Amino acid sequence: MSKVIVVGGGAAGLVAAWRAASLGHAVLLLEANGRLGVKLRISGGGKCNITHDGPPKTLLAAFAKDQARFLRPSLHAFDNSAVLELLRREGVETYTRDNGRVFPLDRPGSAGLVVAAFEELARRAGVELRTGARVTALRGRAPRLDGLLLDQERLTAEAYILATGGASYPETGTRGEVLGWLRALGVPAQPWFPTLAPIPLQRPQPAWEGVSLRGGELRLSAGPGRRRLAAFAGDVVFTKSGISGPAALELSQGTERARRESVAWLTYASLLDPPESLDLALQAEQRTNPRLLAATWLQRYLPERLVEPLLREAGLDRTMMLKNLPKAGRRALVDLATDLPLGEPQTVPLARGEVAAGGVDLGAVDPHTMALRGWENLRVCGELLDIDGPVGGYNLQAAFSTGFAAGSL
Ligand SMILES: Cc1cc2nc3c(=O)[nH]c(=O)nc-3n(C[C@H](O)[C@H](O)[C@H](O)COP(=O)(O)OP(=O)(O)OC[C@H]3O[C@@H](n4cnc5c(N)ncnc54)[C@H](O)[C@@H]3O)c2cc1C
């Protein structure tokens, strides 16, 4: 039995601490916040999308190739069914939505029940839990860490597991500073980068706040009418400062990368009719239904609140009938209906991402044990690793699986 210090009481740290204690180690868990699992508690809008349904192969397919290769051993050792079985034994029943996302049964504060279950597991296994304990420095150099500082207090152990998470939502305790310390110790790491974040726009539409665009795809290109860089099918919701919703979150990392390289341009494309056939349909409608308002026609494709301002911007009067629509106006209507310009994005904020991309290079870590290569007593797990999955329970599963591997000392 050896003494192990786990830093970070989130998804990965709780599992790592419980696992190490279950294997007979004397475990001290240090958490900066006054309570454990603060980010877990706000996950899934407070409902906590614990994991995703399906065999490990399907889960791995959701991650980038290098990340999937890295996650394979730890996910197989502690997969989604193992997580759910553990929670079930602690009284947390779950259900799977049609889209494969797994949640605790709908009850107020259900995310809190998940935290309580992991906390109870850790306590029962004998983990010493210390909250309000922010580690302020690491001491030592490869191949051994000699200790940690909590301000003036120095703590030592035979092994250390760092599970301090990413750098988004800093108010939940994750400020990302541990990555800087690791780099100073020579550990290779990628800088934090925003992902799964809302996208602010250069020309936001606060009047459209809350309006959704549905059934199409958000497209990212290198400027108006320029090369398409990426697209994601799904809804977009207007916010005061830009756009959010599933498609915006998934495209936020690519948008920020494109924006930093040159120009990024966003549009929302309807997938129903290609522009050519919609144009023909509109011409036919001009003949058969000449008194129909252009505004009424456009409302078939776009939310009502958007129609009048968009017509105005296109130089069309809201009382204009189809019979009076000039050719350029017809083109403008078809363009708006099929590929609505949202314009240039502003800087995507790291702080507002559900996950922070970047972190410890996966090549520097043994994927079976989470041990840092070149170090004898130091392991890293969870979002501190350079892993970022899509929305859907994948990120928590990655934290649970890598935490389990790190705690298997
Ligand atoms: C709003 C939001 C919703 C989300 N919803 C989901 C979801 O539904 N499903 C999903 O799969 N993922 C979701 N995620 C992502 C998921 O929550 C994270 O990927 C996951 O919590 C990462 O686990 P972790 O243990 O690595 O880090 P965290 O859970 O962030 O835990 C790290 C802990 O380390 C502590 N810490 C940091 N530095 C120190 C220090 N120096 N000393 C001591 N302690 C320290 C922090 O206080 C924190 O408690 C969401 C994220 C956000 C922000």
Q: Is the pLDDT of residue 225 over 90?
A: no
Give the closest residue (by CA) to ligand 1 atom 39.
164
Nearest to residue 157, comparing CAs of 132, 181, 135, 182? Answer: 135
Is 158 found in the same domain as 256?
Answer: no
Q: Is the pLDDT of residue 106 over 80?
A: no
Q: Which atom in ligand 1 lies closest to the alpha carbon of residue 8? A: 34
Q: Is the pLDDT of residue 270 over 90?
A: no
Is 279 found in the same domain as 396?
Answer: no
Answer whether 386 contacts ligand 1 (Cβ < 6 A): no
Answer whether 39 contacts ligand 1 (Cβ < 6 A): yes
pLDDT digits (tens, 9 = 90+) for 284-334: 999 999 999 999 999 999 999 999 999 999 999 889 999 999 999 999 999
Locate the DSSP E strands across 265-384. 265-270, 339-343, 355-360, 378-380
Total domains, the chain:
2
Q: Which atom in ligand 1 lies closest to the alpha carbon of residue 384? A: 26
Answer whether 217 contacts ligand 1 (Cβ < 6 A): no
Q: Where does a domain end: 348, 366, 392? A: 348
At residue 378, the 3 state secondary structure works out as strand
Give the closest residue (by CA) to ligand 1 atom 8.
44
Is 248 found in the same domain as 289?
Answer: yes
Is 164 found in the same domain as 60?
Answer: yes
Q: What is the pLDDT of residue 366?
A: 98
Answer whether 194 contacts ligand 1 (Cβ < 6 A): no
Q: What is the pLDDT of residue 5?
A: 98
Q: What is the pLDDT of residue 273?
A: 80
Is 78 found in the same domain as 190?
Answer: yes
Answer whether 134 contacts ligand 1 (Cβ < 6 A): yes
For residue 267, give its domain range.
198-348
Instruction: Find the CATH number of the domain harbouring 358.
Output: 3.50.50.60
Q: 């699986």: which residue's tokens?
A: 401
**Quick one: how far is CA 171 from the chain centroid?**
16
Q: What is the pLDDT of residue 53?
A: 98
Distance 399 CA to ligand 1 centre (A): 9
Give the closest residue (by CA) to ligand 1 atom 51.
354
A 10 A CB-CB count for 381 gives 33
- Full-model pTM: 0.95
**What element of type H or E holds 220?**
strand 216-221
Phi, psi angles (nearest 5°) of residue 266: -115, 140
Cβ-count burial 261-273 (b if 16+ within 10 Å, e if not): eeebbbbbbbeeb
Is 109 found in the same domain as 232?
Answer: no
Burial of 202 (0-12, 13-18, 19+ CB in 10 A): exposed
Is 162 found in the same domain as 120?
Answer: yes
Cα separation, 75 vs 57, in Å, equals: 9
Is 225 found in the same domain as 169?
Answer: no
pLDDT digits (tens, 9 = 90+) for 202-218: 999 999 999 999 999 99
Answer whether 392 contacts ligand 1 (Cβ < 6 A): no
Answer whether 355 contacts ligand 1 (Cβ < 6 A): yes
Q: Where does a domain end: 297, 323, 348? A: 348
Q: What is the pLDDT of residue 272?
A: 77
Cα separation, 174 vs 33, in Å, equals: 10
Is 122 found in the same domain as 101?
Answer: yes
Pocket test for ligand 1, best of 396, 397, 400, 401 (most atoms within 8 A of CB): 396
Q: What is the pLDDT of residue 277?
A: 92
Is 214 found in the same domain as 174?
Answer: no
Type of residue found at 116: A
Pocket test for ligand 1, best of 41, 43, 155, 168 (most atoms within 8 A of CB): 43
Q: Which atom in ligand 1 lies closest to the alpha carbon of residue 169? A: 53
Is 267 found in the same domain as 323?
Answer: yes
CA–CA distances in Å: residue 99 to residues 42, 49, 103, 114, 392: 20, 11, 11, 21, 8
Answer whether 388 contacts ligand 1 (Cβ < 6 A): no
Q: Is the pLDDT of residue 108 over 80?
A: no
Is 224 found in the same domain as 185?
Answer: no
Cα separation, 248 vs 225, in Å, equals: 20
Distance 255 CA to ligand 1 centre (A): 23
Q: Where does a domain end: 300, 316, 348? A: 348
